[in-house]
Structure 1
Amino acid sequence: MPPNLDATLFNLGSELELIPYAATGRGVAEPIPAGLAERHHRSIDVSPLADDEIEQRLAGLPFADDKAVVICWPADRCAARGFYRSLVRNYDDLWYPSQDDVLVVQSEPGVLRRLTMSHEEYFTYIEVEMPADIS
């Protein structure tokens, strides 16, 4: 987690706001139910990449730019909400390799997208189909 998350988010403007960790919902505070169909699964080793290449890889993931994402630092039980494009532009202020694990979750009817940004400098993206009876 950034050393002073409040100040970091303030400096980024109104693009991201802190939310209670308990409000993060499915994929973070609540598990993804077992047995759901995965539509996409991608792992990316970002350790050899330069900052602009990491930004390009993030931008290439199939998150909806106009839908909210939840960004979480599970070890610190902190979370923020904003748009995915804000994470892409500011990822280096929000994720510290070798220190942080960050989860990014976007949920909309029928689909849940989750990106794990590991402290070991691997990104894992999954997308699962969410039945209508699971929100």
Structure 2
Amino acid sequence: MSRSHAPAVIVFDGVCVLCNGWVRFLLRHDRQRRYRFATMQSAAGRGLLAQHGLDPDDPASFLLIDEHGAWTDAQAIARVLAGLGGHWQRTSALLDAVPKPLADRAYRFVARNRYRWLGRREQCIVPSAEESDRFLDP
């Protein structure tokens, strides 16, 4: 994807261990710096969730906002991977092949159980100095 596009924004649960792992993965693999991040606990994240009809107090919410619109659940994950390009784009095509209702049920199952399986952090992710420009509310 071209750097001329405005960065896409990902709103994620900042106290979720799995979600933080996902963001760390993206920080490592997003060489085009396509994605910016906001925790759902921040003012920016809460505002974006509410603006797109999602409950800011529902920790299962995951939102991607890009130049084409707003995306949630499994579809958001697939679009994020596609935005990374290369073999991640091919992986996203596999996710897109799964029927949406089934993919969203699987996403919701993981979202409902992730705290129990992997735990929670006491505080939201604190970006390093090199990463702070990637976060809306560092």
Question: So what's the TM-score if we normalise by structure 1?
Answer: 0.25
Q: Between Structure 1 and Structure 2, which shows a larger proportion of strand residues?
A: 1
Question: So what's the TM-score if we normalise by structure 2?
Answer: 0.25
Q: Between Structure 1 and Structure 2, which shows a larger proportion of helix residues?
A: 2
